[in-house]
Structures are given as structure tokens and as C-alpha cells.
Amino acid sequence: MLRQEPPHAVPERGLILLPIAEVLSCRAAGAVLLDCREPAEFTAGHVHGAVSVGLRGEFERCAGAVLPPSRDVVLVGDVGIAAEATARLGRAGYEGVVGQLDDLASVLSAGSEQAEASSRLSIEQLAELARLEPALQLVDVRTSAETARGTLSRAREVPLAILAKLPDALDRSAPVLVYSARGYRSLVAVPGCGWCGGQRQRRPPRPRWGRARPRRCSMRAR
């Protein structure tokens, strides 16, 4: 599946750099696409279906919640952090990193079908979205200790640690909005949960918001 003699690699780890076509072949064969950039960078644009687990957050714990240990991993974020990501995944027990996307910037700038963005909403924007989309499914991925202090109205409590183990928990035909305390875990949860299935779905109506910067909720069209 991978080149035997790649033209270039990440020197520190001997990690193969793969063009987007080979990355997609790996994904089709069952590999997980992992993006370890900062949440703001991931939100602005990423490879379709990629899992976001930023290196500057609770990396090892969140990776363990959403990465199946039996599947290969292809890194699709910044080449400059590939060596650190691979080393930390190895310490967490993930030895199946098979390569790194060679040029994410080109994939994103080309506006191809393989790139997408995620929406992060403020509470005010969430209220308008819920009004426009009655079928919206709201998921709280915080721990039970956190949700004991309160949740948003109509939210379903599905802690990140068990999220990937509940593939039938939500309606696949309806939009989903995931939230956490500061937004890091919600970004981890949305692309990585088993409900995504690598398929593009319809987008819900877009709320009419101004310049307020979203902070806590992460959304992906179902």
C-alpha cells in the first residue's frame, strides 16, 4: 500500500511523506487520518474525515479515546510536528503510524473535495441554529463529574472516553453539535466518532451571525 522507496521522509523518525492520493488510499484501506495541529488551525481547514487531537492539549488521553489501536494512522497536519506526534503516539501505545501527508497547504488551497472546515459556535449562535434546525442533536462529551454541575437543555451526555463505542447512539440523518468545557474535546469528538463513516452529509441551515468569535461548541454537518 505504501511506497517501498519514498522520495522524502521526516528525518527524525524515518516517517514516509505521502501525496494526498496515497493518503486517501490508506484511508480507504482503514487507516485513521490524524491532525495534531492547534484547534483553530484544524477548524479553519483540514482533510475530510480527519480526527483532531492537538498536541498542546490532553493528547495521549484523547488519542486513546478515539484511535482504535488495531488500525494504522496517517498524520495529515503540519509536517513540522510529525516527529513529536509520532513519538508521543508511540509512548501511548500506538505504533502504527505509517506516514505523513506531504503538503497539507496544497490540499487546502486547491479547494478540493478532500478538504473541509468545522464550525465553532458561541452559545448565541447555537440558540439560533437550534431554532433553524429542530432535528439538531446536541452532545455533551464532558465527564460525568463535569456534567453533574449542569448541561445545556436537550443535550445528551456521552463522555469522550466512550463516544467511539456507541456507533448507534445518534440519528445518522440529522445534524450533530458537540460541546465540551473549552472546545478541545469537542473537536476531538466530532470527526473521530464512529458515526461519521467518512461520508459527506447535508449541511444544516446557516445561522445569521456577525463577528462574534465562537469558543465552546464544535459542529459537523451530518
Q: Hey, do 9-116 and 119-220 end up sharing a CATH topology, with the first three levels equal?
A: yes
For the chain, the residue count is 222
Q: At residue 9, does pLDDT exceed 70?
A: no
Domain ranges in the chain?
Answer: 9-116, 119-220
Block residue for cell numbers 522524502: 8
The more confidently predicted of residues 154 and 47 is 47
Cα 137 from chain centroid (whole Å): 18
Query: Cα-flanking dihedrals φ and ψ of residue 59, to 5°?
Result: -60, -60
pLDDT of residue 102: 94
Does the pTM exceed 0.75?
no
Residue range 24-42: mean pLDDT, rounded: 93
Contact 77, 33 (CB under 8 A): no
Query: Nearest-CA neighbor of 2 among 86, 34, 19, 90?
Result: 19
Q: Output 75 or 169, whichever has higher pLDDT.
A: 75
Average pLDDT over residues 152-181: 78
What architecture (CATH level 2) is domain 119-220?
Answer: 3-Layer(aba) Sandwich (3.40)
CATH class of 9-116: alpha beta
- If you average pLDDT over residues 177-187, what whole number do you get? 81
